[in-house]
Copies of this chain bind each other. A is one copy, B any other.
Amino acid sequence: MRGAIIHAPGDVRVEERPDPELVEPTDAVIEVTATCVCGSDLWPYRGIEDVHGPAPMGHEYVGVVREVGSDVSTLQEGDFVVGSFFASDNTCEICLAGYQSRCVDARPMGAIGTQAQFARIPLADGTLVATPGMPDDDLIPGLLAASDVLGTGWFGASAAEVGPRKTVAVVGDGAVGLLAVLAARQLGAERIIAMSRHDDRQTLAREFGATDIVSERGEAGAARIRELTNGLGAHSVVEAVGTQESMMQAIRSTRPGGHVGYVGVSHGVQLPGDELFFSEVHLHGGPAPVRRFLPRLIDLILSRQIDPGKVFDLDLPLDRAADGYRAMDERRAIKALLRP
């Protein structure tokens, strides 16, 4: 089959890879309908994370079940399924508490590489959620977004305890930040401040429900949020970048007793304990347990109540994956969808 391989920073190629096979009786093999390039894929692409290549790439996917192992009981050949970037058993104590991304048996899908024609999905019963019937073509991008960026933005909003009567600020205007805006809207936030300095992303943020835009960043950005909130700070702040600057911007934008939900994969961040202590905020985040949210997200998408697929502003055949990486790296695209 064809699949994307990273050889070195900046060097992603689509090549022949072995067809996946069932390995464990809890596995399924799916034919990938759509996959995409993640903001976090840019860390190795940019050489900020070490590349131990050649290595397969991709951890977002929707597809059709082609084969199931003997222990798989909830899925059948032909089912259209959505999964997430960690395979999880969905039965352990941690999964049952809603933290499937930290399942005691969690398997990172990035190591399998879903930017490919087919993919082996471990722990298929726990990991995959089947849609009722085959979804309309135009809903594929939305369902693919649920696989990671929507689920991650939703977790960020949820970790930030977004809800009615609350003012929410979102740090980061990538796909996750934009979809955190959408999540905040769905979760009933009264006011949603998107922090963005790019016209096209501001437009999409407004479409997703942002009521205010703040273009300042860092300390100036936090000061602006406090200005907009009677000097107190927002009730809920979603951090969707992962740098020292963005984390401090998020913490300093939050009122005492408020909540920071952080979902940007942390790179080189050191949080000063004394400032955190006196800030008196709640901090929660990490790799999103997308599986917790998938049934609700799929339902919202299929019933056309939300359209998260709008974050895909580039649609390419899988063979042009390298162009997708390049466009996102150069910020010419918010997010690139790849069709095998």
CB contact under 8 A between A274 and B267, given known A232-B93, A257-B99, A257-B102: yes
The answer to whether residues A280 and B287 also contact, given A102-B256, A257-B97 and a CB cut-off of 8 A, is yes
Which B residues are CB-close (under 8 A) to A101? 256, 280
- Output the least CB separation between A257 and chain B (Å): 4
How many Å lie between the Cα of A265 and that of B276 in the bound state?
Answer: 11
Cβ of A230: which chain B residues have Cβ within 8 Å of it? 93
Stoichiometry (number of copies): 2
| CB pair A257 B287 closer than 8 Å | no
Q: A287 touching B276 by the CB < 8 A rule? A: no
State whether the Cβ of A211 lies closer than 8 Å to any Cβ in chain B. no
For window 202-235 of A, CB contacts with B under 8 Å fall at 230-232
Q: Is the interface of A mostly helix, strand, loop or mixed?
A: mixed
Q: Closest approach, in angstroms, between the C-beta of A248 and any C-beta of chain B?
A: 11
Complex Cα–Cα for A273 and B248 (A)? 11
Q: Is the CB of A94 within 8 A of B255?
A: yes
Q: List chain B residues, Cβ under 8 A from A269.
A: 272-274, 277
Q: Which residues of B contact A268 (CB under 8 A)?
A: 273
Chain B residues positioned under 8 Å from A23 (CB to CB)? none
Across the interface, which residues of B come within 8 angstroms of A286, CB to CB?
A: 256, 276-280
For chain A, residues 251 to 281, give those with C-beta under 8 angstroms from any C-beta of chain B.
255-257, 262, 265-274, 276-281
> Which of A97, A247, A257, A287 has the largest count of B CB atoms less than 10 A from its CB?
A257
Q: A residues 285-315 with Cβ under 8 Å of B? A: 285-287, 289
Whether A282 sits at the interface, judged by CB under 8 Å, is: yes
Chain B's closest residue to A277 (CB) is B266
Q: Is the CB of A280 within 8 A of B232?
A: no
Contact between B279 and A282, CB atoms less than 8 A apart: no
Instruction: Take A94-B257, A271-B270, A272-B270 as given contacts and tell me if A280 and B102 are in contact as well, using a CB distance cutoff of 8 Å.
Output: yes
The 4 closest A-B pairs by CB, nearest first: A269-B273, A102-B256, A280-B286, A266-B273
Contacts from A to B (Cβ < 8 Å): 93-94, 97-99, 101-102, 104, 230-232, 242, 244, 247, 255-257, 262, 265-274, 276-287, 289
Q: A101-B280, A104-B231, A266-B277 are in contact. List 5 more A-B contacts (CB 8 A).
A: A94-B256, A99-B280, A257-B289, A281-B284, A283-B284
